[in-house]
Amino acid sequence: MRRDFLLAGVGAVAALAQEKAEEKPPEIVAGATQDPTPRVGIVLSSFKEGEDHDGTKIAGLQDPQPTNAELSDAQLEAMVRKAIDIGGLRATELYEMIAPDDWVALLAPIRNDARVAGAMLNYLAEHRRGARFTLIDRLGGAQKSWPLEYTRLMAQMAAKFKSAKFELTDLSGAPTIELPADGKPGVSYSIPKLVQECDRIITIAPMATDAKRGVALSMANYAALCAKPTDSDEALLDLFNYKPADFALVCGSKGTEGDGKPVRFNVAVAGMKAVAVDSTAALLMGFKPDDLPYLALGEKRGFGSWDPDEIWTRGNEPEDAKHEFQKPAGWRAPSHG
């Protein structure tokens, strides 16, 4: 049954992001202003047809595949793009939010399937939205350079879309700026300047479990913005607040369960509210969203609702798109009193 939806609070935007937006207003704001209800697209690789809340049919994938199948590049891209298409606001597609000359940063960890970032880049570049695209992550440890699949991806993008710039940036070597945390005297973080300077941020994450938080999804990517470990949910939300994601995408084609065991669950979850996307993705993984405190904290900080009953899902029904992920051995759901 299609979930009911309620109005949720409009996401707070950091002062620096507001200042940037005032310099160049978004092209379309009516949808976000009039109806802030979180909308999340759910698309399994087996998606054949869906139905919207008003009975409107949603076309399925042309070449549906089992959710545990190894997808071809074309099959994976079709799944991801369908989720992007139905994960927008009622009257606003993702590409309509982005200007042709925007600098778009994609916070995409190298543990992800590089083809998912490729699907997003193709989507934006084909719509001629964005003039500069930067894939960002913080490399370290044994990983001193970008994996070959990422360097090949960006070279292919540059050859295909010659009018745009495509680049990889390791945040561990990027110039930084010390910025105060909003509303927290004496608390500051050293973050990459490009986070302050870019026009849009899209966060792309695999479906993954985490020993501390239970899950590591789109908002967990923001831990890469700071060189110091982000141990608390408060710190994670502080970093998210500097530049809240304009769009969030979670894909299970290269996920992990338990304490890092690889798992393939071909589903793409996408939307303009990262809290709602993470809540939905966690639900599909077999977690209870109210057992993940960072989601409730995100709503409290003004980034939208985490409550599944307040999220309008489109595409596959959440009840039909679940795959129980093994929980991390050391993780325990918090007591609710």
How distant is the alpha carbon of residue 225 from its chain centre?
Answer: 15
pLDDT at 19 exceeding the cut of 70: no
**Number of domains forming the structure of the chain:** 1
Could you tell me which of 107, 136, 106 has the C-alpha nearest to residue 121? 106
Instruction: Over range 275-279, report the average pLDDT.
Output: 98
Question: Range of 226's domain?
Answer: 15-21+31-319
Q: Which is it for strands 312-315 and 39-44: parallel, antiparallel or unpaired?
A: parallel
Buried-state track 282-293, b at ≥16 Cβ within 10 A, e below 16: bbbbebebebbe
Residue 151 lies in a domain: yes
Residue 244 lies in a domain: yes
Amino acid 16: pLDDT: 38
Terminal C-alpha separation, the chain: 30
Residue 5 lies in a domain: no
Q: Model confidence at 89, in pLDDT bands (50, 70, 90)?
A: low
Could you tell me which of 210, 201, 197 has the C-alpha nearest to residue 293? 210
Residue 155 lies in a domain: yes
Residue 26 lies in a domain: no
Residues of the chain above pLDDT 70, percent = 88
Residue 329 lies in a domain: no
More confident residue, 171 or 23: 171
How confident is the prediction for the chain on average, in pLDDT? 88
Could you tell me which of 326, 321, 256 has the C-alpha nearest to residue 284? 321
Residue carrying structure tokens 């959440």? 318
Q: Model confidence at 141, in pLDDT bands (50, 70, 90)?
A: confident
**Which tens digits make up the pLDDT trace of 149-166?**
999 999 999 999 999 999
pLDDT at 5 exceeding the cut of 80: no
Evaluate if pTM is beyond 0.85. yes
Contacts of 141 (CB under 8 A, 6+ apart): none
Rounded Cα distance, 167 and 24, in Å: 23
Distances in Å between the alpha carbon of 248 and those of 58, 65, 251?
Answer: 21, 24, 10
Q: Which is it for strands 200-210 and 247-257: parallel, antiparallel or unpaired?
A: parallel
307: CATH: 3.40.50
Residue 195 lies in a domain: yes
**Which tens digits make up the pLDDT trace of 315-333?**
999 999 999 999 999 999 8
Residue 2 lies in a domain: no
Q: Is the dihedral of CA 296, 285, 231, 108 positive or negative?
A: negative
DSSP state of 267: E
Are 88 and 277 in contact by the 8 Å Cβ rule? The answer is: no
Amino acid 90: pLDDT: 58
Amino acid 23: pLDDT: 42
More confident residue, 24 or 318: 318
Contacts of 145 (CB under 8 A, 6+ apart): 139, 170
**Which tens digits make up the pLDDT trace of 38-72?**
899 999 999 998 877 777 889 999 999 999 999 99
pLDDT at 170 exceeding the cut of 70: yes
